[in-house]
Amino acid sequence: MPRPIILGVVGDSAAGKTTITRGLVRLLGEEHVTHIAADDYHRFDRRQRAEHAITPLHPACNYMDIMEQHFREVRAGRPILKPVYRHQDGTFGAPVYVTPRQFTIVEGLLGYHTEALREVFDVRVFLAPLEELRRKWKVDRDCSRRGYTTDQVLEELDRRESDSATFIRPQRRFADIVVCFVPGDHGQFDAEVTLGRGLVHPDLTPFVDGDQRGLTIVDAGTEHTLAISGGIDPGYAATIEEAIWDRMHFASHLRSERLGEFTVGTQLHRSESLALVQLLVLYHLVTARASVALGADGLRVAS
């Protein structure tokens, strides 16, 4: 079996990592995807972090070397005994045996912090939503699912700000795809997508048409940041999606209507901009898979 393809989904707490990932897993098929949360590699449990006054965003609060070791093993197709951090109560459990499948998705805070980590990934996504949006998402999630109060979450966000600025946000420069969600019209989210030089991306500039139908270039000088309007015309979005699928016709058996879904509370929503972002990521995953299956080491462009 060719080695697994490794996707990194890195970003601050509550930046939308799981939302991006979920649709990709659905398309690729759960049975083909191994999922690793880098939070499992925390060095200190919740109590110890409070004692040491250290946030999980600090590299010293994580086993960076073990992460490198394990991810290298996974990339080579070898199983690992993965540690387990339990968000429910902030403690560690017994480790679990994980066999890498065709695709491995690593979600985490510090995935691109060291060069050895960066080298593991075939595709590096970085999520950088507007900070005000991320704070809202974090409050919503941590209160509903991790048992905190709103005030606790807001205090925690303040406590983490310095480490976010020092360790998390600078990682965006290593990403192949930086996604910045910002609130758009009608409660939709616009996505600003910055495409890095480490991979050759599908050319979407033919679809840029000013503000007319929802795809614009943010900085006319560079052409590498596109804005996808949350209110993009669905027919037009379908046309763009079609163009991307054209370039990966060998993967057309994966086509599905289910990209772009996300939940708020228990309610299911759909976002055209999210769907397009997911499809771009999928494009790189399946082309990397094809390349590796044909004997190459992947599609990363030497920088």
Which residues form the interface with a second copy (CB under 8 A)?
Answer: 43, 63, 65-66, 69-70, 73, 78-81, 83-84, 91-95, 97
Beta bridge partners of 237: none
Nearest CB to a second copy, comparing residues 79 and 147: 79
Q: How far is the CB of 95 from a second copy (least distance, A)?
A: 5
Best CA proximity match to 126, nearest among 193, 42, 65: 193
**Cβ at position 75, least distance to a second copy in Å:** 13
Name which of 84 and 264 has its Cβ closer to a second copy.
84
Task: Give the orientation angle of helix 272-293 with respect to helix 234-246, to 10 degrees.
Answer: 0
What residues contact residue 166 under an 8 Å CB cut-off, 6+ apart?
none
- Of the pair 64, 237, the CB lying nearest a second copy is at 64
CB atoms within 10 A of CB 111: 28
Least distance CB 121 / a second copy (angstroms): 21
Cβ proximity to a second copy, 96 vs 293, nearer residue:
96
Q: How far is the CB of 220 from a second copy (least distance, A)?
A: 49
In angstroms, what CA-CA distances link 173 with 103, 113, 153, 237? 24, 11, 28, 28
CB of 92 or CB of 236, closer to a second copy: 92
257, two tokens: 């209507």
Q: Which helix (H) or strand (E) holds 154?
A: helix 150-163
DSSP 3-state of 179? strand
Least distance from C-beta 160 to a second copy, angstroms?
24
Pick the closest to residue 135 from 14, 20, 264 (CA basis).
Answer: 14
CB neighbourhood size of 250 (10 A): 11
Nearer to a second copy, 73 or 156 (CB): 73
In the complex, the smallest distance separating the C-beta of residue 172 from a second copy, rounded to whole angstroms, is 28
Q: State both tokens at 182.
A: 């910002």
